[in-house]
Structure 1
Amino acid sequence: MKLIKNGRVIDPKSQFDAMADVLIDGQKIIAIGQDLSQKGADIIDATGKIVAPGLIDMHVHFREPGQTHKEDIHTGSLAAARGGFTTVVMMANTTPTVSTVETLIEVLSTAAHENIHVKSVATITDKFDGQTLTDFEALLKAGAVGFSDDGIPFADAGQVRKAMQKAVAFDTFLALHEEDPQLTGVLGINDGAVAHHCGVTGAPTVSEYSMVARDAMLALDTGARVHFQHLSAGESVDVVRFAKSLGAQVTSEVTPQHFSITEEAILTHGTNAKLNPPLRRAADIAKLIVGLQDGTIDVIATDHAPHTHAEKDQEIIKAPSGMTGLETSLSLGLTHLVAPGHLSLMALLEKMTSNPAQVLRLDAGYLAENGPADFVIFDADAVRNITDDFASKSSNSPFVGEQLQGVIAYTICDGEIVYQG
């Protein structure tokens, strides 16, 4: 048994927020209350710290199989635990893509050896061809938690509609990356002053919100559960809000990088700030924050996308987009949302625990008696310097060198300590 003592226990699902102790037996919470004691229990002192459900990230790239020079399931899991995450969902843009039961079983078999919960989506279309729908029924039975062609937007609206109808038939959800390739120049850079300074035409906001609008209306028409990934444009927030008001079963996410820094980061951090979708303007961040405040944006997800130094150390047009994000996510939320007063700590944690669990329909993301013993324990006020000493194989982050709030003391998964700071 383990006994977490003297912490401020916050559970977004029940809105519980009080000084309390938590008693754990095996993989379950036995009791939450005042002045608990248990003979022989291992004591974890949480004095001055927050005790919250283990964080959930529904959008990570662990690069296995086929791209393990960037990351693999083991190193990605280490990075997740160090960032306070006890559950993550891998995207399917591996080599080969997770389009078949055989590949999915291979991925999940490897993931089963890790000490956090590592799950995976399968692709919507075979090998991302945009046309041939995968075997949803067989992939769900094999363990897929949903479907996404993340990284490859759908050009064919008819195929999107068919995919949504199939998702309804099998009671699952689609996660969509929305960037119309016909409206973009160089991916990864906002089409504005910074892109023009770099001598390129970038990706305008309309390339995102036009596709969000199309697919939000298709979701309304079909009744499908649709999750919009990594919103970056202010107009996208407006569209999602409108679709929800009509009754569409849509949810959305934002990454910490998109609510923390603007396109100007390209000028100071180079290719480490090149992302898909790109960093936008301060006006977009303002709308993203309003979306978080009013519930239009349900989830904060990292889009953890590791690349090697060699891959990033190229001219801006050639370098791949993406950044490593698991080990800075909570700190960015504390620094850029909670500290300025945009969100309460409860609201931040809701976007990182109970809400993604609800989208994924997982028994996770909450603290309750007889519930899962998954926790993050952290000092919300402590400040740390971000170095490139990540647990991830990669360190492609524009936040290296920054000072951010939040230091994780423990990550506990299934009642076992999987990271201790």
Structure 2
Amino acid sequence: MATLYKNARLIDPSNETDVKGDLLVENGLIAEIGENITAPEGAEIVDCKGRILSPGIIDMRSHSVDSAAAAAGGITTVILQPNQTTLIDSDAVVERIRRRSEDGNSVRVYPMGAATQGMAGEQVAEIGQMQESGAVAFTDCNKAVSNPLVMRRLLEYSGYFGALIVQYAQDDSLAAGGFAHEGELATRLGLAGIPAAAEVIQIERDARLSELTGSPVHFALVSSREGVEAVRRAKAQGIKITCATAPHYLMLNDNALEGYRTFAKVLPPLRGEEDRLALIAGLADGTIDVMVSDHNPKSADVKRLPLGQAAAGIVGAETLLALTLSVVHSGKVELMTALKALISTPAQLLKLPYGTLKKGTPADLMIFDAEKPWRILSEDFKSVAKNTPFDTVPVQGQVWRTIVGGKTLFSQEA
């Protein structure tokens, strides 16, 4: 019932602490933090050997409950998107997901409910009931709420409940039929393009609606330089907006589609090199608040098709930490900034009691070696699918242990 983690580098991004010491877990909670803690009788003692011990990652955007993959990636809480086989648009579905999560010996799972009924974008969903049942935010996932009046009503309604609306930053009309970045490569390969303007227009419109209603809005995936600049301008004006991106937008540009490589097909699409660099700068200066995996397992049957027909999406749970640390190792982003985006900021936005090393909080922990080199090999993934554009890519930063509620769910040694 007790475990003492000794000789750790304790990093808590919620209060920006970075110290050497020990951490004691009892009955699933953090019982003590400090130096030279004496282990209770019968306690397990784990020597971290200088590795970083931090709160576990809270992945704010996953399309699948892929527990083994999440645990291997240091993720202790998965935020499930509503576009499941059974759409998450009612309190009954939310309750079923929460009960299943609480009963299982796996990572924690919290659903985002659909923002509009049936994700059709026409009528506001029953946000209050779903929130009471355990939904942590509301979104139409890969569909923007395109009707401005519906979005206004949604923000007004969510403000009454203190709920967070998550918007997909893409104007449907401009993006219709597209699946690649509208640029030189798409023209040369004959691919249907989506202009960066589709992202900017959605962000600027909803920033105005957020200002009008006084309710916050979060943008699920920002992919372009213009999108980052639009968010930065809105924040400078005091508008309550936040945004996220995923590691593949920091690591790849649209050249990854060269040769019609379907494993690099994602939505929103990978964009140009200037966009990639702008996203890294946006994470570094705090314009981008959150890093997500956008974990979306797809079978070979739907990925190994002509590019226009292939499904969009990559697996990202097991590579989320290492790929995010790539911009830390290159000197472009501070380690504390990256960990905030993975851990404490999602917890704060979703009002979850995790993402901190405070005494008395749940012992959802990640222990990792930030410097350890390894090679991403899709054949070694624990994920239910292997669709990654990063196969054989060398990285630094490996998860050693993942602990949820005091229980070790993943161990590199095992």
TM-score normalised by length of structure 2: 0.96
Shift of 1:97: 1.2
What is the alpha-carbon distance in structure 2 between the residues aligned to residue 192 and residue 117 of structure 1? 40
Shift of 1:188: 3.1
Percent identity, please.
33
**Counterpart amino acid of residue 410 in structure 2:** Y
What is the alpha-carbon distance in structure 1 between the residues aligned to residue 404 and residue 154 of structure 2? 34
Task: Choose the corresponding residue for 1:353, options 343, 367, 373.
Answer: 343
Shift of 1:310: 0.6
What is the alpha-carbon distance in structure 1 between the residues aligned to residue 272 and residue 32 of structure 2? 46
Q: In the alignment, which residue of structure 1 is the partner of 2:294?
A: 303
Asked if the contact 2:33–2:359 (Cα under 8 Å) also holds between the matched residues in 1, the reply is yes
Asked if the contact 2:58–2:347 (Cα under 8 Å) also holds between the matched residues in 1, the reply is yes
Task: Choose the corresponding residue for 1:61, options 60, 63, 83.
Answer: 63
What is the alpha-carbon distance in structure 2 between the residues aligned to residue 111 and residue 186 of structure 1? 37
Shift of 1:88: 1.3
Task: Choose the corresponding residue for 2:398, options 389, 392, 407.
Answer: 407
Q: CA 1:259–1:269 in 2, change beyond 3 Å: closer, same or farther?
A: farther
Q: In the alignment, which residue of structure 2 is the partner of 1:109?
A: 99
**Counterpart amino acid of residue 52 in structure 1:** S
**Counterpart amino acid of residue 277 in structure 1:** P
Please tell me whether residue 384 in structure 1 is matched to residue 374 in structure 2: yes
**Counterpart amino acid of residue 150 in structure 1:** C
**Counterpart amino acid of residue 258 in structure 1:** Y
Please tell me whether residue 223 in structure 1 is matched to residue 223 in structure 2: no
Asked if the contact 1:241–1:296 (Cα under 8 Å) also holds between the matched residues in 2, the reply is yes
Asked if the contact 1:61–1:304 (Cα under 8 Å) also holds between the matched residues in 2, the reply is yes
**Counterpart amino acid of residue 3 in structure 1:** L
Asked if the contact 2:97–2:109 (Cα under 8 Å) also holds between the matched residues in 1, the reply is no
Find runs of 4+ consecutive structure 1 residues off by over 6 angstroms. Answer: none
Deviations 1:56-79 (A, max 9, x none): 1111011xxxxxxxxxx3xx1111
What is the alpha-carbon distance in structure 2 between the residues aligned to residue 188 and residue 21 of structure 1? 49
**Counterpart amino acid of residue 161 in structure 2:** F
**Counterpart amino acid of residue 44 in structure 2:** D
What is the alpha-carbon distance in structure 1 between the residues aligned to residue 259 and residue 28 of structure 2? 45
What is the alpha-carbon distance in structure 2 between the residues aligned to residue 299 and residue 85 of structure 1? 14
Shift of 1:95: 2.2
Q: Name structure 1 gaps, 5 residues minimum.
A: 63-72
**Counterpart amino acid of residue 27 in structure 1:** G
Task: Choose the corresponding residue for 2:119, options 120, 128, 147.
Answer: 128
**Counterpart amino acid of residue 14 in structure 2:** K
Q: In the alignment, which residue of structure 1 is the partner of 2:6?
A: 5
Shift of 1:210: 0.9
What is the alpha-carbon distance in structure 2 between the residues aligned to residue 174 and residue 183 of structure 1? 22
**Counterpart amino acid of residue 198 in structure 1:** L
Shift of 1:114: 4.1
**Counterpart amino acid of residue 115 in structure 2:** I
Secondary structure at the residue paired with 2:194? coil
Secondary structure at the residue paired with 2:261? helix
Q: In the alignment, which residue of structure 2 is the partner of 1:398?
A: 389
**Counterpart amino acid of residue 191 in structure 1:** E
Shift of 1:269: 7.4
Shift of 1:173: 0.8
Task: Choose the corresponding residue for 1:46, options 48, 51, 55.
Answer: 48
What is the alpha-carbon distance in structure 2 between the residues aligned to residue 316 and residue 250 of structure 1? 34
Alignment of 1:9-408 (within 5 A): 9-38=10-39, 39-62=41-64, 73=65, 76-112=66-102, 113-184=104-175, 186-267=177-258, 270-335=261-326, 337-388=327-378, 389-408=380-399
Q: May I ask how many residue pairs the two structures share in their alignment?
A: 408
TM-score normalised by length of structure 1: 0.94
Shift of 1:222: 0.6
Secondary structure at the residue paired with 1:122? strand
What is the alpha-carbon distance in structure 2 between the residues aligned to residue 131 and residue 178 of structure 1? 18
Q: CA 1:269–1:395 in 2, change beyond 3 Å: closer, same or farther?
A: farther
What is the alpha-carbon distance in structure 2 between the residues aligned to residue 105 and residue 41 of structure 1? 35
Deviations 1:236-293 (A, max 9, x none): 1111111112221111101011111111111167111111101111111221122112
Secondary structure at the residue paired with 1:7? strand
RMSD over equivalenced CA pairs, Å: 1.3
Q: In the alignment, which residue of structure 2 is the partner of 1:68?
A: none
Shift of 1:189: 1.3
